[in-house]
Structure 1
Amino acid sequence: MKIDIQGTLYEIPHIEITLLNALVYIRENINPSLKFGYNCKSGVCGSCAVRVNFQETLSCQYKVQDGDKIEPLLRHENVAGLLVDYKKAKQNLQKIQTWLHVRSEKVMGEACEELIEKQSDCILCSSCFSACPVLDVKQSFLGPFALTRAWRYVADVREEEKKSFIEKMQNDGIWDCTLCGECTVACPMGIDPKSDILHLRTKSMQAGFFDPTPQPSFEDDFGFNPNF
């Protein structure tokens, strides 16, 4: 069985093996200079995320298939081999300040727990960041996982200062998303950032914010003005 890692073919003697174990085998037996990341080996830390056949995945969870093409995550600075620098993506969490700011005495009920439980599962693997085409044209875009983390706190009944989250996501945030859904497909935890961004847009409009992008008029689209 052969796999392609950034244009170099490697032969793996094993049939049933995870991609992470295959990478370890290659480094120990074929190419000692091969660089890749991993930590927990259990799909929890997110540090082993790569692209397999043009789709983001966790190498510790993926079973290697003959002919697989392996590459590093996109839209990150490449360090070496399959290693990328996550710094820029994770700095966006600090920009939007995704943590409780003003905690109330409200008790989180079962309904609220269910509402934000999935968002709390984010492992910061940055797969959604890699999959997001908006970042090709706007590098300042906050990115899917920063926004889905923001929704986790906007939806939290214990947070009293929700408007601070909403204000921070107006520029380079929710209105720049094209709602293509690639982030949702890429997430190994089953989180749906596209849906979370739609929720954030609704909350933003309820708070008095609107899409700042100039919208085409009916006249622009169809060549006449219905109010004439």
Structure 2
Amino acid sequence: MKISIKRKDAFVSYEAEGRTLLEALNWLKANVDATLAYSSGCRSSVCGSCAVRVNGKEVLACAHQLQEGDVVEPLRNVPILRDLAVDMDKAYAMNAKAKAHQSSFVQDVALSVEDEERNALQSDCILCGSCYSACPVYAVNEEFLGPFALTRVLRYVSDKREQNPKEKIDTIQINGVWDCTLCNACTLVCPQGISSKADIEKLRARSAMLGYTDPSFANFGGGFGFDGSPHF
């Protein structure tokens, strides 16, 4: 089966064998070109390390069913190490920057089944980076906290055991929830079916409850609809 793989600045065509893209990449490395670089791990859509772009969309190589003429590229918005292998360190660092983790001390409260289900989907994130690759905001603003970091923030501020959810909400006001365009590109490529768009909308609502507003509204201060008089 003929596929094209982006290597450096050019696409190279190969005749490959395999049911999935990852099987084809393994076959090519073993039988055609041992220098081909890509990442893989569990081969079961759990670790997220094999995320790439195929025909312009982010997928997991281990889950993508190989098709004639597939065009394979590395993820966008992250440094390329070689071929399809990318460096996700900066994207992962956004989790720490957004305080997307449980506080050191948690409240000793019992969780109901409903409490556990509330955060179940957000907990399924496998950090594959597909959402960062698809995100148009992260493409132009490398300081944007990004989809999976914000999803993880919601997971923790929604946890009854979290002692200081406001601290996390405070942290995501700059380069965070208000910078997202709500385009939904992240949701469309998430292999776990997580909607970071919906999560960010919930974080905006929580931010508003704490007195925060979209800072872009300040650009319209004194304009029509704010002080009751039009300006021409």
What is the CA–CA distance in structure 1 between the aligned matches of 2:166 and 2:28, rounded to whole Å? 50
Counterpart residue number, 1:23: 25
Counterpart residue number, 1:111: 114
For residue 181 of structure 1, the aligned residue among 181, 184, 188 is 184
What is the CA–CA distance in structure 2 between the aligned matches of 1:208 and 1:44, rounded to whole Å? 38
Contact 2:17–2:24 at 8 Å: present in 1 too? no
For residue 55 of structure 2, the aligned residue among 53, 56, 77 is 53
Q: How many pairs were matched up?
A: 224
What is the CA–CA distance in structure 1 between the aligned matches of 2:138 and 2:219, rounded to whole Å? 22
Counterpart residue number, 1:4: 4
What is the CA–CA distance in structure 2 between the aligned matches of 1:18 and 1:195, rounded to whole Å? 31
What is the CA–CA distance in structure 1 between the aligned matches of 2:90 and 2:96, rounded to whole Å? 10
Aligned-partner SS, 2:53? strand
What is the CA–CA distance in structure 2 between the aligned matches of 1:187 and 1:201, rounded to whole Å? 21
Counterpart residue number, 1:166: 169
Contact 2:77–2:138 at 8 Å: present in 1 too? yes
Aligned-partner SS, 1:114? helix
For residue 198 of structure 2, the aligned residue among 170, 175, 195 is 195
Aligned-partner SS, 1:117? coil
Aligned residue identity for 2:153? A
What is the CA–CA distance in structure 2 between the aligned matches of 1:13 and 1:200, rounded to whole Å? 45
Contact 2:47–2:126 at 8 Å: present in 1 too? yes
- Cα distance, 1:219 vs. partner? 4.9
Aligned residue identity for 1:8? V
Identity %: 44
Aligned-partner SS, 1:103? coil
Q: How large is the Cα RMSD of the aligned pairs? A: 1.9
Change (3 A) 1:168 1:219: closer
For residue 140 of structure 1, the aligned residue among 136, 140, 143 is 143
Deviates more, 1:179-188 or 1:107-116: 107-116
TM-score, with length taken from structure 2:
0.92
Counterpart residue number, 1:88: 90
Aligned residue identity for 1:10? Y
Change (3 A) 1:8 1:113: same
Aligned-partner SS, 1:201? helix
Counterpart residue number, 1:43: 45
Counterpart residue number, 1:216: 220
What is the CA–CA distance in structure 1 between the aligned matches of 2:223 and 2:137, rounded to whole Å? 28
Query: Which blocks of at least 5 consecutive residues in structure 2 are unaligned?
Result: none
Contact 2:150–2:177 at 8 Å: present in 1 too? yes
- Cα distance, 1:187 vs. partner? 0.5
TM-score, with length taken from structure 1:
0.93
Aligned residue identity for 2:191? P
Deviates more, 1:212-221 or 1:39-48: 212-221
What is the CA–CA distance in structure 1 between the aligned matches of 2:155 and 2:130, rounded to whole Å? 18
Change (3 A) 1:13 1:129: closer
Aligned residue identity for 2:140? V
Change (3 A) 1:218 1:40: same
Aligned residue identity for 2:120? E
- Cα distance, 1:136 vs. partner? 2.1
What is the CA–CA distance in structure 1 between the aligned matches of 2:2 and 2:34, rounded to whole Å? 18
